[in-house]
Amino acid sequence: MMKVLANDGISKAGEIALQDAGIEIIEAKVAQEQLANFINENAVDVLLVRSATKVPKELIDSCPTLKIIGRGGVGLDNIDVEHAKAKGIYVINTPNASSRSVAEMVFAHFFSLARFLHEANRMMPLEGESNFKALKKSYSNAVELEGKTLGVIGFGGIGKEVVKMGISLGMKVKVLTRSPKTATLSLNFFDGQQVDFRISSDNNMDEFLKDSDFISINTPKTTGYIIDAPELEKMKDGVFIVNTARGGVINEVALLDFIESGKVAGAALDVFENEPTPELSILMNPALSLSPHLGGNTLDAQDKIGIELTEQIIDLKKKLQK
């Protein structure tokens, strides 16, 4: 019987799907230094991790029973993928499972910023009783999202979900990618109706920036800033920006300067340059809506991750048995 160790946990849905396929699941949390021993003693075939457990070359070399290594999530930076593949081990991940969750987080922040909820939620417990009218007045310059231009940087699984949500809210959409791409996006509704939109991206940063009212960054990790002072300079006055991608795609110091000058109306960060210890100047700024890297963290995404991993394991099990 194939044995799976889900060292960083797996959703109930994934667990049930594995058991239904006749696969034994060991849900333990084995410390990194004991992991090789545990895998060998239990003849584990499949190691599933999230971001906590590391799978370096040494671990791969010392575990001859491993046939599949799976990551519940998008990135594979905690796994020595090349080495695993060189040894004939399959490496799987779930690039699309949390796309919708991240996209909804983008709009949770956009709505919070557009209606000053991030600030009102902080101030109401402090001054709601003594200063109600003044607070009401200070949050009166709110805006709607409908009819505004949504600019999305990146057109992978998450970028596409962000575009779909923007379309469903009646926004105009623009997409920026390194090289122009075209994709058909389907919006599926509760009553079985479906509407398709053909969306083309462009690689002209200046054109993209000059009329985007709301900008969402949805790229993989980058070596340098995508948004720095020159890009912020070219944006519309009163722009809103959300980063749920990775810390380091936007220059946080420059962002604070442009918030200070009034050019940027508000920004939201779910990821930080100095994660997990963001700068105090970021944490204390009232124009920022902040969350501790929660983009893909929903129960729904965890279920999708478990099921997506399971489907891949079942397919590979058939291959391995041939």
C-alpha angle 256/261/264, rounded to 5°?
Answer: 65
- Contact between residue 72 and residue 8 where contact means Cβ atoms under 8 Å apart: yes
Question: pLDDT digit string (tens) for 121-168?
Answer: 999 999 999 999 999 999 999 999 999 999 999 999 999 999 999 999
What pTM was estimated for this model as a whole?
Answer: 0.89
Give SS3 for 238: coil
Domains of the chain: 3-94+299-321 (3.40.50.720), 99-290 (3.40.50.720)
Report the C-alpha gap between 11 and 161 in whole angstroms. Answer: 23
182-188 and 194-200 strand pairing: antiparallel
How confident is the model over 198-253, as pLDDT tens digits?
999 999 999 999 999 999 999 987 889 999 999 999 999 999 999 999 999 999 99
Helix residue spans in 211-269 (DSSP H): 229-234, 252-260
Say if residue 264's pLDDT is above 90.
Answer: yes
The percent of residues above 70 in pLDDT, for the chain, comes to: 100
The residues annotated as belonging to the active site are: 246, 275, 293
